A and B are shown apart, each in its own frame.
Chain A
Amino acid sequence: MSAAPASRATSRTAYAVAALALLAFLAVPWVGISNNAIRLLLTTFLWVTTSLAWNLLGGVTGQVSFGFAVFYGLGAYTAGLSINGGITPYAAIPAGGAVAAFGSLLIGLPTFRLRGPYFAIATIGVNEAVRIVMSNLDITGGASGVRLLQAGRFSQAEHYYAALGVASLAFLVSWRVMHSPFGLALRAIREDQDAAADVGVHPFRLKLAVHALAACLTGVAGGVFAHYTAYIHPDGVFSFSTSTSILLMPVIGGLGTLSGPVIGAAVYSIVQEEMVVHFPQFHLLLYGALLILIMLFEPGGLAGLWRRLARRLRGGGP
């Protein structure tokens, strides 16, 4: 294919950038940055993870879900309760991912019978139903939540590395998926599910698979979050606004790309950090407005806008 050499060159640059970024982030705890900045980076990594995970289903496969808080919550609770039961975080956090993936199958089996927008609306119902059930169970601590008993075992640097590790994992998985036949089929499903089935793609099965993969990553992020904050409650991790946040970041950053969800998550975390203190509600106002503008003017999100600007600055066409 004639485009191959160019794309190989860009991907080599991308590798270099990714490797450099990883090295820089690895060094962060050693260069004397404030605890507050480390906390901000840590949160960003968790959002990068959920954002990349959501993008696999919503961006690459075109199945918009308003229900990712279910997986975040399942991961957080599985990890939290396991740690309270004396299990090491190294097992508890992956267990969170496994439980979330299992949950995604239970949700996906019925709801993936529905087409795009109807699937999206059904997930609103699923999310709220799960939240209400979780708020009423004894095991979740009901509305008062659960405090993690041995949270002191990780230092902040260790928490930071856990979050960095999860984000890197999500990035690697996303990269692998997008450059594999699996990812090719997912994109075909996004473009035209029936036409994809007409050349042999099994949309239902692949949607279940990518849903499980995304849920697993989201669950692991939830587990790291639970271990870090040491306190979780259903109206936090399972809330519809958590789902909203997880959806907004990749959509605003740029769907279906690798850089988009990362940009979206970074912008979101910084904006939230700055605004939540002063104007608790305004960041969602801002994000809602951004969502409207993006749907109207730049479906490629911030990443798409960036590409367009770069092209114009370089003096190329529009």
Chain B
Amino acid sequence: MTELLSVKGLTRHFGGIAAVVNLQFRVKEREIFGIIGPNGAGKTTAFSMIAGSLLPTAGSIRFRGREIAGWPSQRVVHLGICRTHQVPRPFTGMTVYENVEVGMRFGGRRTPPRGEVADEIERILEFTGLSGWGASSAGSLPTGNRKRLELARALATDPVVLLCDEICGGLNPTETADILSLLRRLRDSGITILYIEHDMRAVMRTCDRIMVLNYGQKLAEGTPEEIQDDEGVIEAYLGRRSWMGRAEQLEEPP
């Protein structure tokens, strides 16, 4: 597998706070790359910089060898990197269908021929489990469907790399399992996924490789098994029983 995205020395300060510090990692094509860490570890901030929503204070982001750090989001999207938002941000005054249509028409990579836009949108709605909701106002969606809409809208831009920010946060186990199987299918269809998650079980089951962030810095990186056994990770979270507690339930059958 070839390297798709490589991040080096990525740093971001907010006033006096260093949210992300000298971050370095590489993502290969067609993998699900998990990013975990406690609240405030800098995961969302790292995503925002990759997606172009936030200017890095320093560092380099290369996509297929091309330097994209500091590019505005629309340009990054047109290259094929698209993000979802941790707190969903649907266009509330528009229908679900129209939300997805924005992504499809302005993703800038492949707008289907005139007659096929509606079919394509319908296909994406169905894939994300939103078929039947097309005509509803996006503002009226319940949380679970808002998360699905985030995914649908991002998929409509035809991404090469999809950045999913806690896309299962606040969902029940069935919904979570649903979304996770979607992510795996997307990976199998050739999309590379960066996946921020709080729920350790979900991450361990789904990701090919995992990076652990803490206080803006990389603590560990490896396969789920390696991460589970990593002394540094366990040590760092010794005081966080509940967090590891969830990790220990891994062996439980779903």
A–B contact via C-beta, under 8 angstroms: yes
Binding site for B on A (CB under 8 A): 1-3, 181, 184-185, 187-188, 190-192, 194-203
- For the complex of A and B, list the 3 residue pairs with the smallest distance between their C-beta atoms, beginning with the closest: A191-B91, A200-B77, A200-B106
Which of the 9-residue segments B61-69, B152-160, B191-199, B204-212 touches chain A?
B152-160
A203 to chain B, nearest CB (A): 8
User: A18 to B51, alpha carbons, bound, how many Å?
Assistant: 45
Interface range for B: 20 to 34
Q: List the B side residues contacting A196 at CB < 8 Å.
A: 91, 102, 106
Which of the 9-residue segments B82-90, B214-222, B243-251 touches chain A?
B82-90
Q: List the A side residues contacting B82 at CB < 8 Å.
A: 198-200
B97 interface hit (Cβ, 8 Å): yes
Q: Which of A1, A3, A192, A201 contacts B89 (CB 8 A)?
A: A192
B42 interface hit (Cβ, 8 Å): no
Tell me if A's interface is mostly helix, strand, loop or mixed: helix
**A199 B153 Cβ-Cβ under 8 A:** yes
The verdict on A181 contacting B91 (CB below 8 Å), with A1-B97, A1-B135, A199-B82 known, is no
**B94 A199 Cβ-Cβ under 8 A:** no
Q: List the B side residues contacting A187 at CB < 8 Å.
A: 91, 93-94, 98
A133 to chain B, nearest CB (A): 33
Q: Which residue of A lies closest to B78 (CB)?
A: A200
The verdict on A201 contacting B102 (CB below 8 Å), with A187-B91, A191-B91 known, is yes
Q: List 19 A-B contacts (CB under 8 A).
A: A2-B134, A3-B95, A188-B94, A194-B73, A195-B90, A195-B91, A196-B102, A197-B72, A198-B53, A198-B73, A198-B83, A198-B85, A199-B82, A199-B102, A199-B153, A199-B157, A200-B77, A200-B106, A201-B106
Produce 1/0 per residue, B223-241, CB < 8 A to A: 0000000000000000000
B166 interface hit (Cβ, 8 Å): no
Q: Which of A2, A185, A190, A202 contacts B135 (CB 8 A)?
A: A2
Q: Which residue of A lies closest to B93 (CB)?
A: A191
Which has the most chain B C-beta neighbours within 10 Å: A2, A195, A197, A199? A199
Known: A3-B135, A198-B83, A199-B82. 13 other contacts (CB 8 A): A1-B95, A184-B101, A185-B105, A187-B91, A188-B94, A194-B53, A195-B91, A196-B106, A197-B77, A198-B51, A200-B103, A200-B106, A201-B106
User: A184 to B91, alpha carbons, bound, how many Å?
Assistant: 11
A176 to chain B, nearest CB (A): 16
